[in-house]
Structure 1
C-alpha cells in the first residue's frame, strides 16, 4: 500500500480521520495525499481551502510527515485542491490511490455524504470509513465479514498489509455457507499463505447486522473488513442491507470495497 487518499475539510471529524490515516501510513510506509475538494471557485470557499491546508500541515507535522510538492519513493505528505462535483473528482483522484480514507458524515444529504458514496461506488478502490469519533490507531484487532461473495474477497485483498500487522484476525460468517463461493476455511487458508493467522466464528444468521456487530465487539475489534453492495445499490438503499447498516448505523471503522 503506497498511496492513501484523504479528502480534507476544516472539520473535527476530518482531523480524526487524518490522524488515523497518517498513523496507518506510517505503519505501512505509505504516502498520504490530502485533497481539498469543493464545488465552487468563490472566495469564501477558498478561505475554507486555506483552513483545510493548515489543518493538513499541522497533522502531517505531528505525525512526522514532511509536506512535499511531488511524490517520492519514500513516504511523504502531498497536497491537492480540485473543483467539481463529487462523482467527477472522486472518479479522477480515487482510482489512482491504494486506499481512500473518509469520515462518516453526520448528515446523509450533504457534500460529505456525496464524497463518501462516490468514493465507494465510483473509484473501484477500498474505502476506509471512520466514525465521527474514532480512535487514532486502528487495525490491531480486525474482523472480516465473510459471505462467500466476490465483493467480500475483493475487499480482503487490499486489506492484506493491515491484516499482516494485526494482533488478531477474526472471520465471521452469519448463517450456513451454502452459496457457490469460497467458504471461510478457504479464506483462512488464503490468509495463512500471507502469514496471517485467523480464527473463524459462525453465527446463526437470523439477524446478520446484530450478530456481526456482536461478534465484532466480543472480539474487541477496531476494524471491520467487508464487501460493499453485494446486492444492487438502489435495492440496499431502499430496502436496507448490511452495507447500509455498516455505513449509516454501525459507528465502527469499516473497510469496504464495491464491485
Structure 2
C-alpha cells in the first residue's frame, strides 16, 4: 500500500477524508497523490451551442479557482503531517476520472456519501469501486483517531468479500487485532468465518471468528453495532450488486454501512 490516490474537491467532509488518507499513508509509509476533481459539465449545455458558450466560461473560471484551492489545502494538510505527497496537475472533469486514474494506485480514498446513492450520474465512490479495479478506503464524517489497528472483516462468504480480503492482506498483516464477523442468515453459500480465520492463520495472520445473531436488526445494523462494540477502527467489507443497473447498485448491508459507518471502511468489488 505504497501509493494512495486522493481526489480533492470542496465539500463538508474534505478534512475528514484528508485526515483518513494521511493516517493510512503513515501506516505504510505511503505517498499520497492528490488531484482536483470537478463534476462533469451538465449535459444539457451542449444542446444550445450559444447558451453553452455563455455558461461555460464562468464555470471554467470557477472550476480553476476550486482546483487551485484544492491543491493548497492538500499540500498544506500533507506537509503539516509530514506525509510524502505529490499533485497531479489539471482538473479531472467528472467522477469517472477517479476510476481511470485509480488503476495505477494501490488504493483510492474518498469521503463517505452523504445520502443514498441513486440516480444516473456515477458518484466518486461508484467510479472508484467499479472502474479502478483497486480497493477504496471510505473516510467517515469525522477524522479517525486511529486506523488499521483493530480490524473487523464483515464476512458473508461471498466472492466479493473474498476478493476484498485478499486486497486487504497488507492491512491485515499490520493489524494488532482482527475479528472475522459473520451475521447469521445474511451470507451466501461458502466458507464460514472460522475457515477464513484458518486461511489467515496459514499466512501468519492471527484472527478470531465470531458469529452473531442479528435479532431484529438488519445485517448492516448488526455489523456496525458489533464493530463499535469491538472498538473497531477499520471495517473490511466487499461491495456487491443486487441489480445490474449501476444507478441502484447499493442495497442491503452495503447501503446501510455507506450511510452510517463512523469508522473507515476498506471496500472492494
When normalised by structure 2's length, the TM-score is 0.82
Which residue number corresponds to residue 69 of structure 1?
A: none
Whole-Å separation in 2 of the counterparts to 1:78 and 1:138: 22
Q: How far 1:137 sits from its partner (Å)?
A: 2.4
Distance 1:163 1:115 in 2: 26
* 1:172 CA displacement: 0.6
Greater Rg over alpha carbons, structure: 2
- 1:191 alignment partner, SS class: helix
Contact 1:22 1:63 in 2 (8 A): yes
Residues 105-144 of structure 1: pairs in structure 2 closer than 5 A:
105-108=113-116, 114-144=123-153
Equivalent in the alignment of 1:149: 158
Change (3 A) 1:209 1:23: closer
- Report the Cα offset of residue 210 of structure 1: 2.3
* SS of corresponding position for 1:213: helix
**Runs of 4+ residues deviating >6 angstroms:** none
- Closer, same or farther: CA 210–105 of 1 in aligned 2, 3 Å: closer
**Where does residue 61 of structure 1 map in the other structure?**
79
* Deviation (angstroms), 1:12: 4.7
Distance 1:60 1:6, change over 3 A: same
Report the counterpart of residue 2 of structure 2 in structure 1. 2
Match of 2:50 in 1: none
For the structure 1 residues 50 and 194, does the alpha-carbon distance in structure 2 shift closer, same or farther, using more than 3 Å as the test? Answer: same
Specify the alignment match of 2:179 in structure 1: 170
Cα-to-partner distance string for 1:38-93 (whole Å, 9 max, x where unaligned): 2367111111111111111111111213xxxxxxxxxx312113332212x12320
Q: State TM-score, norm by structure 1.
A: 0.85
Question: 1:48 & 1:186 partners in 2: Cα distance?
Answer: 49
- Decide whether the 8 Å contact of 2:178 with 2:208 is kept in 1: yes
Assess if the C-alpha contact under 8 Å between 1:20 and 1:136 holds in 2. Answer: no
Indicate if the aligned counterparts of 1:126 and 1:256 stay in contact, CA closer than 8 A. Answer: yes
Q: For structure 1, list consecutive stretches of 5 or more residues without a partner in the other structure.
A: 66-75
Q: How many residues align?
A: 247
